[in-house]
A and B are shown apart, each in its own frame.
Chain A
Amino acid sequence: MKALLVDDERLARNELRRLLAAFPEMEIVGEASNAKQARGQMETLKPDLLFLDVQMPGETGIEFLESLEPPVPNVIFTTAYDEFAVKAFELNALDYLLKPVDPARLAAAIERLPGYGASPGAKPARPGLLEASDKVFVREGEKCWFVEVGQIRLLESEGNYTRVHFGDAQPQLFRSLNAMEERLDPKFFFRANRRQIINIAWIAGIEPWFSSGLLVQLKGGSKVELSRRQAQEFRERMSL
């Protein structure tokens, strides 16, 4: 598993490196001292895991994560003392480590990582598209989520933002609906109309609607209208 360490303090990065020496499967591919450096390294190093300090000069760890193009890698936050962040993390079961890091706590966090210990699986057949198990990082106010793409029922355009519906939450993603559409697998996601994209796996019922359109009801209660043109495309797709 390839890990990237992001922390503004050299000593803190060294300490983490020393602690991670106990995990032979963990390969530290790089270090960054701020968000800007980390962004550059994300592209070249393609890490599977980020150790990410919350408090950094310039952008905070959370802001950095929000700016990343999905899918985001696994993330373990590190923080010295940050009541706000810790509360947000606990609420949404995001993993975090308090500095100085307790080795037992680090081991637990690493063991919980999805895919840890398994041999690296085959990469997606179609590069660029998000898999159902890929994660997107979303934040609204103090709340943060790592949401699996497969869990998203509905994406709605709101100007340059996209409102993402999953579970009980519907936070805004800092990306346009069109940008999201390019990354979503058309096997699962369907552009219902100008404003909405639905996840086919979450359809609960379909009714005929005015002027040969369709009304799609999603699990969880949202209703989405398909225009005639879209309905026709949808019928073709479904009858495949």
Chain B
Amino acid sequence: MDFSADISVQSGDAEQRERAKMRLYVLFQSVGWGLLLTVGVWMAVEGPDQHGVKSMSTTVSYVVTWVASGWLLTHYLRPFINRWKWKQLGWRPLAPRIIASALVAGAAWCAFTFVWIHAVMGEPWPEKVSRSLFVGICWTDYAALISGWVCLYFFYHVFDRLNRSEIERFQLMTSVKEAELRALKSQVNPHFIFNSLNSLRSLIGEDPTRARQAVTQLANLLRYSLQSGQLETVPFEDELGVVNDYLALEQVRHEERLRLRLDIAPDTLHLSIPPMLLQTLVENAVKYGISPRPDGGEICIMARNEGGELRIRVSNPGEIAGGVRASSTGVGLHNAAERLRLIFGERATLRLRSEQPSLVVAEAVIPLGHHS
């Protein structure tokens, strides 16, 4: 499972929304132009004959040509609107652009219909009005239609944008609440706490010095998990200290089954990370990489400060299986990924992947220098 899958899930949504928007667009276009066509045809059939004696079918064919060309024109106006990024503009810069585009498109539409009707089809020009006045009236008419179309188009987009930002605001609020709730619920796994207490009870008889040390380590871990929920970020060094305590306790339990390799660059220690991030990754590594394997395995923690990013890698033996594994790992890592995104923005990522055969790597990337 990939936790940029998180992002790709969203883009899946976006794809769906794009498709829905496309359907809506086709519907609007069909209804709008269909209406115009109906009115045009009705006028041609029932209305007063403006163009003198000619067959009804010819008039209808002109109306169809006119509507079809308008339809196509507006359809090909859309990519230009996208290319020029007009959707990002406010009303004030937008207004003159709408008028200009309507005039240009109107002129094109006029030109096409006149060429088609009067030059190609050989329809005579109206005699009662001057040719330039006729062209002027048509142009204004068409430009008005086009600008109406463009205005509707932008109305829809402004509305959609408002709607979407509202939804995003709610999503953000929910995830903040979830993160808070999780912090309140204390993130240390109860199974671990009670197993550790059990090992401790045994250790008291066997190795009192180690037992005393383990009590302190457990106290550190519990205190940290209770307090750190209130903090947005902690120094990486603090988190690492607690993770070391946690791993020492796991080693009391699993003994030689849990082997460790730490590779921490010193220039990462002062950097900020969300509390319990590394702890979550390491806990998962123990839960899925060590606990289920009778022979245990090695957990490797690596931290680097490279290219303006803090990279934290935790690897454990095992495979990323779908189903059960994904769902149970999902919650902890998903929350961690969400918190990372809320605090550091979209550039912060958390990914889980299989690297070599039977090696699972969880990698968090945190951009340096800005918190949102």
Contact = CB atoms under 8 A, between A and B. Distances in A.
Interface of A: 8-12, 14-15, 18, 33-34, 36, 55, 57-58, 80-82, 98-101
Interface string B247-286: 0000011110000000000000000000000000000000
Given A80-B191, A82-B191, A15 B198 contact: yes
Interface residues of B, number: 23
- The 6 closest A-B CB pairs, nearest first, are A15-B202, A80-B194, A99-B198, A11-B202, A80-B195, A100-B198
Interface string B195-228: 1011111110110000000000000000000000
A9 B294 contact: no
B294 A81 contact: no
A57 B293 contact: yes
A151 to B, nearest CB: 34
Contact of A100 (B197, B206, B254): B197
A36 B194 contact: no
A92 to B, nearest CB: 22
B252 A11 contact: yes
A38 to B, nearest CB: 12
Given A11-B206, A18-B202, A80-B194, 5 more contacts: A12-B198, A14-B205, A15-B198, A34-B294, A58-B293
Among A11, A15, A36, A99, find the residue whose CB has the most chain B CB atoms closer than 10 A: A11
B198 A11 contact: yes
A15 B201 CA distance: 7
A157 to B, nearest CB: 31
A103 to B, nearest CB: 11
Contacts of A101: 198
B26 interface: no
B292 interface: yes
Interface of B: 190-191, 193-195, 197-203, 205-206, 252-255, 291-294, 296
Contact of A57 (B195, B206, B294): B294
Contacts of A99: 194-195, 197-198
B294 A36 contact: yes
A36 B293 CA distance: 12
Contacts of A98: 194
Given A34-B294, A36-B294, A100-B201, A81 B194 contact: yes
B198 A81 contact: no
A204 to B, nearest CB: 44
Nearest to B201: A100
Classify the interface of chain A: helix, strand, loop or mixed: loop
A58 B292 CA distance: 6
A12 B291 contact: no
Contacts of A12: 195, 198-199, 202
Contacts of B194: 80-81, 98-100
A128 B112 CA distance: 99
Contacts of B191: 55, 80-82
Contacts of A8: 294
Given A9-B254, A10-B255, A81-B191, A57 B198 contact: no
B273 to A, nearest CB: 28
A74 to B, nearest CB: 22
B205 A80 contact: no
A166 B152 CA distance: 72
A80 B191 CA distance: 6
A56 to B, nearest CB: 9
20 contacts: A9-B195, A9-B255, A11-B199, A11-B203, A12-B199, A14-B205, A18-B205, A33-B294, A58-B292, A58-B293, A58-B294, A81-B190, A81-B191, A81-B193, A82-B191, A99-B194, A100-B197, A100-B198, A100-B200, A101-B198
A9 B193 contact: no
A58 B296 CA distance: 11
Most buried by A among B191, B203, B252: B191
Contacts of A9: 195, 198-199, 253-255
Contacts of A82: 191
A97 to B, nearest CB: 10
Contacts of B293: 57-58
A18 B202 CA distance: 8
Nearest to B295: A57
B198 A14 contact: no
A17 B108 CA distance: 94
A98 B197 CA distance: 11
A101 B199 CA distance: 11
Nearest to B195: A80
A121 B148 CA distance: 99
A102 to B, nearest CB: 11
Chain B CB within 10 Å, residue with most, of A8, A18, A58: A8
A12 B196 CA distance: 10
Contacts of B203: 11
Contacts of A15: 198-199, 201-202
